[in-house]
Amino acid sequence: MSYEFITVSIDETVGLITLNRPKILNALNLQLVDELVAELERMDRDPAIRVILITGNEQAFAAGADINEMAEASAIEIMKRNQFAVWDRMSLISKPIIGAVSGFVLGGGCELMMNCDIVIASETAQIGQPEIKLGVMPGAGGTQRLTRAVGLRKAMEMLLTGDPISAREAWQYGLVNRVVPVEAYLQEALKLAKKVAKQPPLAVQVIKKSVHKAEDLPLQEGMDYERSGFYLLLASEDRKEGMQAFLEKRKPRFTGN
């Protein structure tokens, strides 16, 4: 498939999606988000891909929704676009998504980052939700996912001032996993992606889903969900292989069955 605003490649079993509107700091117009989600869904179906990595460039992961596109549209037009439906599809991707972010990670860019399961940040990253400065508010999870990630008071401060936080502060609040020098963030993310890609794929997907359930479900329901996943994985070929390999003191060969 050919795209205008993203580029796509594959490295071993990692699918790499790069946001590609560098002149305007990877501002997320509707077409870019459509292309991104179409490719995420394609990679999710592609058996050659086990982990997906989303990145931008050193200067910007993404500076938010495209303000030109929003400025022209009326409330009714934006409502009719139902543009957030495509964002909801992102949370249905079953393979792990690693984010490699640098520079501006703002507004919709921060919301996109929060849709990633693991995030490696360059030490230049500035992460925030500046929508309030435009007289609006986040619409793709900025008040919800950010509050779950960093807690009510930090989220409130970020959302009400619109000021970004540094990569290091984001790390202190658990919003990103790791902060590395700008020269290394993409390689570090790729290394991590390849490590996860070597794990048994069924276990990876069931664990991903189970961890996300922890954000939605009361504890006992989450525990029940976890247990069902545990029993399900006991029926997999890879579980037999993993345990056999341990007993035979050799490396497992996982097939995804």
Residues that bind ligand HXC (CB under 6 A): 24-25, 27-28, 63-68, 104, 106-108, 111, 130-131, 134, 138-140
Known catalytic residue at 103 = no
Instruction: Rank residues 56 and 64 by Cβ distance to ligand HXC and give the closer one.
Output: 64
Nearest distance from residue 125's CB to ligand HXC, in Å?
A: 12
Known catalytic residue at 4 = no
Q: From the candidates 35, 39, 131, 188, give the one annotated as an active-site residue.
A: 131
Q: From the candidates 27, 62, 63, 65, give the one annotated as an active-site residue.
A: 65
Q: From the candidates 111, 128, 140, 229, give the one annotated as an active-site residue.
A: 111
Instruction: Rank residues 56 and 252 by Cβ distance to ligand HXC and give the closer one.
Output: 56
Known catalytic residue at 226 = no
206's CB contacts (< 8 A; 6+ apart) are 229, 232, 233
Known catalytic residue at 62 = no
Q: Which residue is nearest to ligand HXC (CB)?
A: 107
3-state secondary structure 19-60: ECCHHHCCCECHHHHHHHHHHHHHHHHCCCCCEEEEECCCCE
Nearest distance from residue 90's CB to ligand HXC, in Å?
A: 11
Nearest distance from residue 26's CB to ligand HXC, in Å?
A: 9
User: How many Å apart are CA 149 and CA 87, to the nearest integer?
Assistant: 18
What is the Cα Rg of the chain in Å? 19
Going 125 to 129 to 133 to 136, the CA torsion angle's sign is positive
Identify whether the C-beta of residue 100 lies closer than 8 Å to the C-beta of residue 185.
yes
